Amino acid sequence: TGVQGGPLTAAESRALRRARVGPERRPSEGSLVVVTGAGSGIGRATALAFAERGAEVVAADLDLATAQRTAELAGLLGPAGHPYQVDVSDIDAMEDFAKSVLHGHGVPDVVVNNAGIGMAGPFLDHSADDWRRVLDVNLWGVVHGSRLFAAQMVERGQGGHIVNTSSAAAFTPSRTLPAYATSKAAVLMLSECLRAELRGKGIGVSAICPGIVDTGITRASRFVGVDGDQEARSRERASRAYARRGFGPEGVAKQIVAAVRDDRALVPVTPEARLGYLASRLSPAA
Ligand code: NAD
């Protein structure tokens, strides 16, 4: 199988090299994993991490070409990759998507509701449409993805896991990300409610809270913010430092795989996020 869309990036080559491993690295053999926002960044890394461990992957994204590329890479690393184009904020499209997955590939063992968009700028500059867009994708996308697969997982009776991508922004009051942070705080609470309801039915739910990762989202919003260039530079520095410490897209993907394996409720990806979470519970919005 050839990989389309240009030569492999360094990260993709590394992933392919790492994939040439023995059966001990394939604990997810036989499982079906659905990832939304799988065309880029954390979603692609997550799709490939599961593929590397032997899972069949459904790679869904708004952008079909990038989903196809992820699916192709997943097919090289694991048993199969299936690309889908879907807008997670569109309930009809998500219903069609879920039907196609269930009929075409079966009930997923893992659903990673990862698709998301950024929205940087102060509250006073956010329009009603800004709020609607970010909540439609970041919150409703997760609601649809969970709602459309959870009942089938429960009915099948063989367990399963839902992973929702929240963010350290969920518990870090911000002057620059009000709508985004609100959407991610909602995803965190949704995940906690789902976990409480579904754990008795054999389904695990995890919320993943990465710090700043250099991906499409951060690149798109980096130069917008109340502090202008200064803030842009500090975000860039932070994402580079996190990447060096192993908290880039592949590091986040590893923690997502581990969250499923160990059934972890909340995964603050970086030590800073862990402290931020604890501090927010002790002294909210200090
Ligand atoms: P990214 O932009 O590289 O990837 C997001 C993917 O989602 C893209 O491929 C995009 O096409 C897709 N997408 C966007 N809207 C969609 C829609 N309506 N339907 C389907 N797909 C859609 O960014 P990323 O950083 O990999 O983001 C993945 C998730 O991680 C997001 O939920 C984001 O909020 C979260 N996150 C990112 C960071 C960070 O710093 N990058 C930090 C914390 C959390």
pLDDT tens per residue across span 1-12 = 334 445 566 666
Contact at 8 Å (CB) between 160 and 203? Answer: yes
Contact at 8 Å (CB) between 69 and 5? Answer: yes
pLDDT at 268 > cutoff 80:
yes
Residue 175 — very low, low, confident or very high, per pLDDT cuts 50/70/90?
confident
Ligand 1 atom closest to Cα of residue 89: 18
Name the strand (E) or helix (H) holding 221.
helix 216-221
Which neighbouring-strand residues pair with 207?
Answer: 164, 266
Residue-level pLDDT at 218: 79
166-170 average pLDDT score: 96
Give, for ligand 1, the residue of 35, 36, 40 to mutate: max count of ligand atoms closer than 8 Å to Cβ.
40
172-196 average pLDDT score: 95
Residue 284 — very low, low, confident or very high, per pLDDT cuts 50/70/90?
low
Residue 169 DSSP label: G
For the chain, percent of residues with pLDDT exceeding 90: 71
Its ipTM equals 0.99
Residue-level pLDDT at 212: 87
Residue located nearest, by CA, to atom 7 of ligand 1: 37
The pTM (predicted TM-score) of the whole model is 0.90
Active-site residue 277, yes or no?
no
Residue-level pLDDT at 2: 38
Per residue in 15-68, pLDDT (tens digit) is 555 544 333 333 455 699 999 999 999 999 999 999 999 999 999 999 999 999
Which of 34, 163, 32, 190 minimizes the C-alpha distance to 98? 34
Distance between Cα 41 and ligand 1 center (Å): 7
Q: Is residue 78 in contact with ligand 1, taking CB distance under 6 Å?
A: no
Residue located nearest, by CA, to atom 1 of ligand 1: 216
pLDDT at 228 > cutoff 50:
yes
Range with lowest mean pLDDT among 94-98, 130-134, 209-213 = 209-213
131-138 average pLDDT score: 98
Which of 105, 202, 98 minimizes the C-alpha distance to 157? 202
Residue located nearest, by CA, to atom 44 of ligand 1: 167
Q: Is residue 216 in contact with ligand 1, taking CB distance under 6 Å?
A: yes
Distance between Cα 99 and ligand 1 center (Å): 23
161-186 average pLDDT score: 94
pLDDT at 83 > cutoff 60:
yes
d(CA 263, CA 145): 19
Per residue in 190-204, pLDDT (tens digit) is 999 999 999 999 999
Burial of 123 (0-12, 13-18, 19+ CB in 10 A): middle
Q: Is residue 113 in contact with ligand 1, taking CB distance under 6 Å?
A: no
Residue-level pLDDT at 26: 37
Residue-level pLDDT at 214: 83
Distance between Cα 200 and ligand 1 center (Å): 30
Residue-level pLDDT at 84: 98
Write down the residue that tokens 């053999």 correspond to: 29
Residue-level pLDDT at 229: 63
